[in-house]
Amino acid sequence: MNVDFDAGYEMTIHGRAVTADAHFEAFNPATEEVIAQVPDASRAQLNEAVASARKAFPAWSAQPLAERQRAVARIGDVIEENAEAFMRLLTREQGKARKGAEWEIGGSVIWCREIATQELPLHVVEATETRSVETRRVPLGVVGAITPWNFPLLLAIWKIAPALVAGNTMVLKPSPYTPLCTLKLGELLRDVLPAGVLNVVSGGNDLGAWLTQHPDVSKISFTGSTATGRKIMESASGNLKRITLELGGNDPAIVLPDVDVQQTAQTLFWAAFQNSAQFCVAAKRLYIHEDIYDELSAALADYAATVKVGDGSQQGTDLGPIQNKMQYEKVKDLLADSAAAGHHFLTGGVPEAGQGYFVPVTIVDNPPEDSRVVVEEAFGPVLPLLKFRDIDDVIDRANRTEYGLAASVWSRDTALARSIAERIEAGTVWINEIHSFSPHVAFGGHKQSGLGIENSLEGLAEYSNAQTIVTNNA
């Protein structure tokens, strides 16, 4: 299928292109130029999309698993065939640099192919001549998927692939800030999936709310902020929807004094600033042992000076802008608060006015533990460095947050690091590496970072109900 990635952004409802009476604008965050008019779905159109997914469900769920797996693997092929166009559009709408776009699009392909190998096993509890007890997994029905603006395509695939393999159909709503790649994916898949299996609708936050309230939607799979996650939990209660919530984080990284400082500095820099720190699992609070604090903070600042922030479409750019004006203003406000409190910036600071939502890489030198720049999820390139001496104390500080998404510990003494990791309240703790995700490894937040799991068989199972069948042959 020949798709023009530069124009014709339409929704996909029941396998057909659908526009809307109203439109909203999509911007390039590096230039602030309007790059597309995006359909703003009405409530009636959302209802049509849900009805279409519901209509498609019986046939899709009745297909042999191998057929559904093949279709999901094919989604990966289609993304790969259009990888270059996706990468260019992703940079234009999201702002990320080429390397980041390659990571996201390449990851989307891998996820489709790997999730397509997964299968939920039948659990035989008892099997005798006279009686059997088996628990099998059955699909839920229509899944409503809602995605954020930091990794618009990859995080959509994290939902599409398992939902469809498990036998569900879907209505997918991308963030209004980054709808374009997702709309193009819907367009490309009109030829790949039966009508109604994947509907893609675009609109604002209201559209998301309508989807979460809809009585014919059986599950909401959501990635976004904790504040929105709470609203979704509330509105999903109407028909007791299943929910998976992947929410915010304020991930600590704990660096012990025995690390190779120069080498670790570079890894930690990217742990914090990849995707301009618009990353749920970015290292957002860096706890450094006092013995190496000065050396490591200097190495981080030196490395920061070598990193180029700019338009993601320009060669040589390492980090792009903040994706949208709302978030840019939030990060600016956080930095202004930090500056007003007299914090010392090792590099960066409050951004100056100019074209594009650019924020300089900012490293804050040991601000107070209760300052906003430490307590709040910045979701922008602002990293507080925090000094510690005592392990019990640093674990206590690392856990002193409503979030519990991920964390990392850095030390040559892996036994000690492991003992620290086990005391951290987070869904993932990496030791001496970070951000190594896999379709086969469970990922999910503790505390207010979320509910449920994505990836792995546990994640796949969240797109199903358990059904136990007891047969008595006696």
176, 196, 351, 367: which one binds ligand NAD (CB under 6 A):
176
Q: Is 39 in the site for ligand NAD (CB under 6 A)?
A: no
Specify the residue, 319 or 406, whose C-beta has the smaller distance to ligand NAD: 406
| The two structure tokens encoding residue 341 | 């409190």
* β 406-410/428-431 pair status: parallel
Whether 322 and 331 have beta carbons less than 8 Å apart is answered as yes
Longest dimension (CA), the chain: 80
Q: Per CB under 6 A, does 460 bind ligand NAD?
A: no
Residue 376 appears among annotated catalytic residues: no
Q: How many CB atoms lie within 10 A of CB 257?
A: 15
> Which is closer to ligand NAD, CB of 387 or CB of 447?
447
CB 222 within 8 A of CB 245: yes
Applying CB under 6 A, the span of 28-36, 243-251, 344-352, 457-465 interacting with ligand NAD comes to: 243-251
Residue at token pair 């922030």: 309
Q: Which stretch binds ligand NAD (CB under 6 A): 17-25, 59-67, 204-212, 387-395?
A: 204-212
Does residue 144 touch ligand NAD according to CB under 6 A?
Answer: no
Which one, 12 or 297, has the nearer CB to ligand NAD? 12
* Nearest CB to ligand NAD, comparing residues 68 and 242: 242
| 209 touches ligand NAD (CB under 6 A) | yes
Closer to ligand NAD at the Cβ: 175 or 317? 175
Q: Answer yes or no: are the C-beta atoms of 197 and 166 closer than 8 Å.
A: no
Dist CA 167 CA 242 (whole Å): 15
Question: 64: how many CB neighbours lie within 10 A of its CB?
Answer: 8
- Interface residue with ligand NAD among 273, 287, 379, 410 (CB under 6 A) is 379
Q: Is 375 helix (H, G, I), strand (E, B) or coil?
A: helix
Nearest distance, CB of residue 354 and ligand NAD, angstroms: 23
Q: Encoding tokens for residue 21? A: 């009476």
75 within 8 A of 239, measured Cβ to Cβ: no
Q: Using the rule CB under 6 A, is 405 a contact of ligand NAD?
A: yes
Contacts of 252 (CB under 8 A, 6+ apart): 283, 284, 285, 286, 287, 397, 398, 401, 407, 408, 424
244 binds ligand NAD (CB under 6 A): no
**Residue 179 touches ligand NAD, criterion: CB under 6 A:** no
Window 61-120: residues binding ligand NAD (CB under 6 A)? none
Among 28, 82, 182, 212, binds ligand NAD (CB under 6 A): 212
Tokens of 7: 């124009």
Candidate list 52, 175, 408, 411; residue touching ligand NAD; CB under 6 A: 175
Size of interface with ligand NAD, in residues (CB under 6 A):
29
Q: Active-site residue among 246, 377, 454, 462?
A: 246
Distance CA 274, CA 150 (A): 11
- Contact flag: residue 275 with ligand NAD (CB under 6 A): no
DSSP class of residue 116 equals: T
Quick one: which of 107, 162, 186, 249 contacts ligand NAD (CB under 6 A)?
249
Q: Is 232 in the site for ligand NAD (CB under 6 A)?
A: yes
Enter the DSSP assignment of 338: H
Residue 15 or 148: the one with the smaller Cβ distance to ligand NAD is: 148
Smallest Cα–Cα separation from 115: which of 141, 81, 149, 154? 154
Token pair 């920061």: residue = 304
Q: Interface residues with ligand NAD (CB under 6 A)?
A: 146-150, 155, 173, 175-176, 205, 208-209, 212, 223-225, 228, 231-232, 246-249, 280, 377, 379, 405, 445, 450
